[in-house]
Structure 1
């Protein structure tokens, strides 16, 4: 098991909150939200395994990634935490809550469902585009951005993905375990059958313009999380916390501080 996951700590509030980002993200993606909550929460912005500066694993499944994070939680805290997971991080958070409920006081699932998500297929083309980049030829992030412009025309998505491109001296490399994640996209988009339920408070935050959470996902969500409440952020797409940080912060604050 991974003894340590790279993380950033923001705030000194009474509630312990652990943020889990989505595919090809990093913990720091939640920096703005954590800073806004710093009076009520001590937030741990974790790099998931195979992401950011956390260790890589040899294989990928939702359950082995959840086990890595659960082990880190067990080693890091002597009390249950509020777990907030977006997209892939939301799937991992749900499985931790179901398999190790003693680690989780409250759960917030952001724009993902306990179901197979066909939208994950969009990453096939994105990852293929990243793999076309010849790292030995890269001289700057600007050059890499320009090289990928035609294959990834969405500027926000392209720059989000290029957060993973780092260099040491003249040597450029991917922070994320690009090959393993690329080969595991079917597992990323899946949801293997799982028993049990988590009976703690659960908030399910959905982007009103996102295709990831559908009406047919409500029943399986309620079966696993009987105390779930759904909130839709009307003008947000999949990256809810980036699309409408003010509303997302308000929702999170309310979830942390209410009985």
Structure 2
């Protein structure tokens, strides 16, 4: 049995696994998958230290990838279509490189293979995460990741409701291992190991999705598209980092297009 918590959402056809990002959970996708269920069995996974999955003594990108590999081998047992969002993309990308037999097709959403592009905010976060674990944990508890005016938050509220957005964020925060928040945050916001060069070994059909205004990930998404053989890039107009929540219809259409290409061979 795999240790990861996962949720079989039903549907018809091959299995499509969706993997959330840093500080998220399967709740990031639960409300937007209905259009996909007509062509795929949808499975949502909670990464280590997130959602209902177990905690670890130490968190690394390699450890996250290994846990998903174990899940695919023990719980699914067949090649899957797989989507990784943000840090989830960094989790699944090495699986497509080194365990291609497990991956029927790949969607990389608002993610990176080398490092997110840097801005003034990134420099602040890099300085924060360079401190000791205890110091970082204290800063995070005091709201160090808060960004003030957040246009993406407003789009989510417009699409759903303030109450729904607050409940989702609270759900994710309540179930997040503080140690994962610190250790993985250091890898996300500081210079983590690059896997961009080895992305050229991916053979699965690949779509790279990115929000039009997700500035830190526009450059990395283009570099992934350039590096992965025959990858296609789709930009979601008006979106930021979580287009499935701000633009769910356009997002679902992009995924259905990807799956249609896969099914057409």
What's the TM-score once normalised by structure 2's chain length? 0.78
Find the counterpart in structure 2 of residue 144 from structure 1: none
Count of equivalent residues: 234
Are the aligned partners of 1:82 and 1:107 in contact in 2 as well (CA < 8 Å)? yes
C-alpha root-mean-square deviation of aligned residues, in Å?
A: 2.9
Counterpart of 1:250 in structure 2 is: 253
Cα distance between partner residues in 2 of 1:212 and 1:17: 27
Q: Comparing both structures, which one devotes a greater share of its residues to helix?
A: 2
- SS of aligned partner of 1:231: strand
**1:5 corresponds to which residue?**
4
Q: Does residue 1:227 correspond to 2:230, yes or no?
A: yes
Per the TM alignment, residue 87 of structure 1 is displaced from its structure 2 partner at its CA by 0.3
In the alignment, structure 2 segments of 5+ residues that lack a partner are 130-135, 155-164
Cα deviations across residues 21-44 of structure 1 (Å, max 9, x unaligned)? 011111121112222211111111
Q: Secondary structure at the match of 1:56?
A: coil
Structure 1 residue 162 and structure 2 residue 164: aligned? Answer: no
Deviations 1:166-212 (A, max 9, x none): 4xxxxxxxx11112321332323424346361111000011001113
Query: Cα deviations across residues 53-74 of structure 1 (Å, max 9, x unaligned)?
Result: 1011111221111011111111
Q: How much has 1:154 moved relative to structure 2?
A: 5.1
Q: Residue 153 of structure 1: CA displacement?
A: 4.1
CA 1:236–1:104 in structure 2 vs 1: closer, same or farther (change >3 Å)?
same
Conserved in 2, the CA contact under 8 Å of 1:114 and 1:221? Answer: no
Structure 1, unmatched stretches of 5+, are: 133-147, 167-174
Residues 47 and 217 of structure 1, relative CA distance in 2, 3 Å threshold: closer
Asked if residue 28 in structure 1 is aligned to residue 27 in structure 2, the reply is: yes
Give the whole-Å Cα distance in 2 for the aligned partners of 1:90 and 1:184: 14
Which of residues 188, 195, 205 is equivalent to 2:209? Answer: 205
Q: Note if 1:108 corresponds to 2:89.
A: no
Are residues 1:182 and 2:192 paired?
no
CA contact (8 A) 2:110 2:211 kept: yes
Verify the 8 A CA contact 1:129 1:152 in the aligned structure 2: no
Deviation at 1:128, TM superposition (A): 5.3
Question: Against the structure 1 CA distance between its residues 216 and 113, is the aligned structure 2 distance closer, same or farther, given a 3 Å change threshold?
Answer: closer
Q: Do the aligned partners of 1:113 and 1:221 also contact (CA within 8 Å) in 2? A: no
